[in-house]
Amino acid sequence: MIFFIDLLLFLFAIYHLLAGMACLGPKSWMQKFSKQTYSLSVPNQYEPRYDITVKFLGLLSLTLSAHLFCIYFLSELSLKKWCTLIWGITLILRSMLRLFLRKQFFDAYGLIFSRSLLNITLNIFLGIVCVVLFILTVK
């Protein structure tokens, strides 16, 4: 079980590292990452407040990545299990928010719901896997 927990933590950390670098790097990185990951087209020119928001999201993503890498390298099993539970719940809540706010996502970004539904489904699945792994490893 611990192998799967470690694998999920490591993959989540890598994803958030790449997302953070894409947001904090040149705009072309973010455009490419957004297009490949979310089928989202980011314009070449946008307001400075949008750029600031993207930079803060990038910083948050890098912080999540650092947190996940720290958990991955921990040897304390009980802490790792609890962090996996918290991460699983976070993924499920993030997916539910995206599902409930789908009209706002479409209005703001023109995000096609079928593409967003793929991300929602994947994140709910991964969240449930994290919760199940926690339950299976609790003594």
DSSP sequence for 58-118: HHHHHHHHHHHHHHHH---HHHHHHHHHHHHHHHHHHHHHHHHTHHHHHHHH---HHHHHH
Query: Quick one: 116 exposed, middle or buried, by C-beta within 10 A (0-12, 13-18, 19+)?
Result: buried
Q: Retrieve residue 82's tokens.
A: 């609890």
What pLDDT digit, counting tens, does each position of 3-23 carry?
Answer: 888 898 899 999 999 999 999
What pLDDT digit, counting tens, does each position of 82-101 carry?
Answer: 888 999 999 999 999 989 99
Q: What is the mean pLDDT of the chain?
A: 88
What pLDDT digit, counting tens, does each position of 31-45 carry?
Answer: 899 888 877 777 787
**Euclidean distance between CA atoms 32 and 39, whole angstroms:** 9
**Euclidean distance between CA atoms 120 and 94, whole angstroms:** 8
Percent of the chain with pLDDT over 90: 43
For residues 86, 96, 22 and 109, what is the CA-based torsion angle, rounded to 10 degrees?
Answer: -160
Split into its structural domains, the chain has a count of 1
> Do 20 and 61 touch, CB atoms closer than 8 A?
yes
Q: Domain range for residue 119? A: 2-137
